[in-house]
Structures are given as C-alpha cells and as structure tokens.
Amino acid sequence: MRFRKLMRLVEEQITTSKVWQHYPRDVAKKILESGVSAETADDGPYGHALYFFASPLAAEEDVPKAADDTVILEFHLDEAVEIIDLDEKPDVLHRYRGSLADPDLDQMMIERGIDGVIKNDTVCIYDRACVRFFRVWSGVVADPLADMTDSLDEFALGGLARCTAVTVNALLKHFAKPGIQLSQVPETQPGVLAILDQMGLAYRPEMTGVGRTLQQFAAFHQTGAYYLATPGHAVALINGELFDAENLGPDGRKILSAFAISRR
C-alpha cells in the first residue's frame, strides 16, 4: 500500500502530517523530554538523517522480535515541509551519491530546498526543525518529569473502587472499550499506561499540566480525555468532568503528571 499521498510533495500541495518510528524505551524517553535531536538521526540509504515510517503498521513490522522495551512514537511534520518522492524523481539523489556519507549532506539538501525524501514506506527527513513529537502510539514510557509517580499508593478504598480502576475504567468507557476486572487493576503509573496501551489507546504527556492544581487543569481542559496523577492518587478528566475515587472534585491537589489520551 502506498502512503506518499499523505505527504506534501514538491510538485503537489498535499499536506501530511504523520510519521512513526520505533525506539528503545530510553531513547523514547529522551525524545519526550527534549524532542528529536542530532542523536536521533541515523545513517540510512539516503544519507545521515531522521528516518521514519509512513505508517504505524510498517513501524510495528520493523520492530526486532527480541525487543521487549520498544516504544512507537508518532510525529507530525510541518505543513510547509518539502518532500521528494523518489518513485517520481528517482534521479534526484544521483548527484549526491558520492556524498551520502557526508555528515553535511542534510545541510546540502536543505540549502537546495529539499527537506526530505520518501520511498515506499520509508520517510527520510533532513531538516529536524520540520519534525515534532506528537504522542506515544504504543508502548510505555514513564513521564520524564515525574518518575516518582511510578508508585501509586491509594488502596484505602480497595477493590474496583481503587483510584486506578476508577481512572482506567472511566477512560475505557469514554472510548467504548471494555472495562478492567479486579485482577487487572494496575498499581503503578506505568501499569495504568500499559492497560490503556493494551486497549488500543495512545497517550501524550501534557507537560504544561505538571505543577498545576486539578482545579486549574480542569478549568483549561473542558474537552478531551486525560489521565492525571497527584501524590499517591490517580484521576481521569473527561470533557471537563473529574472521575475520582475520592469524590473530592477538582480541588487544590497538585498534578505530578498529566497525559492526554486518544484512540490510536
């Protein structure tokens, strides 16, 4: 299946927007913290550049079988990005064939108005400024700003009233997914994200929510679905409504980590 029509090519004003790549968890965490960087680039068939896949399926199929900590990230490209389809212009790189290993190849291409190239499912981007992280497509990355929330210790209400169960089931119900049972109740933040991931949901860290109160966050997020962690506790905010095992409502509890939840 061809995905090039998703891209805005040099000859055609077609907007894209999405590309995917798989990474080990530690690399994915760095990208969540600071975005793509020179360290994210790799040597590939079209020189030293950022390499992505034009579909999440292609990214999934490329994951090594032995990898057990792989995370697939979704990125968006700027609308003005200029991508050349190598099926339509197969000769465009021939003049650079002797320089594909040149560490300055990316700058050479950018200076010629070429931000990247695409061939089948492979998307090669020379201009890192065109790429921005959008969300975690699959896999679990701990929130880079709040690793202390790996442990959630709110078990006082017990059973399916546990805060993580209320949070997860509210989000699953919102996306028309089956709820979890008692034996599936996660006890840690990665556990919450793992359940959502297993149920076909993606997440994006909301860095601006960290440090705000639930009241402040709810006031500015009246639409969308969010998983929020406060000290020792978890809640869901869905279209402005708080789902909280403690039934305290949006109050002054400080947010340690926040994630926007969406369908994959």
Digit-coded pLDDT (tens) for 199-248: 999 999 998 999 999 999 999 999 999 999 998 889 999 999 999 988 88
Q: Tell me the pTM.
A: 0.83
Q: pLDDT, tens digit, for every residue of 44-77?
A: 888 889 999 999 999 999 998 767 789 999 999 9
What is d(CA 179, CA 237) in angstroms, rounded to the nearest whole number?
17
Same fold, 4-138 and 147-263: no
Is CATH 3.40.190.10 what the domain over 147-263 is classified as, yes or no? no
Instruction: Give percent of the chain with pLDDT exceeding 70.
Output: 83
Residue-range domain boundaries for the chain: 4-138, 147-263
pLDDT of residue 217: 97
Residues contacting residue 220 through CB under 8 Å, at least 6 positions apart: none
Write down the CATH number for the domain with range 4-138: 3.90.228.10
Q: How crowded is residue 174: how many other Cβ atoms within 10 Å of its Cβ?
A: 16
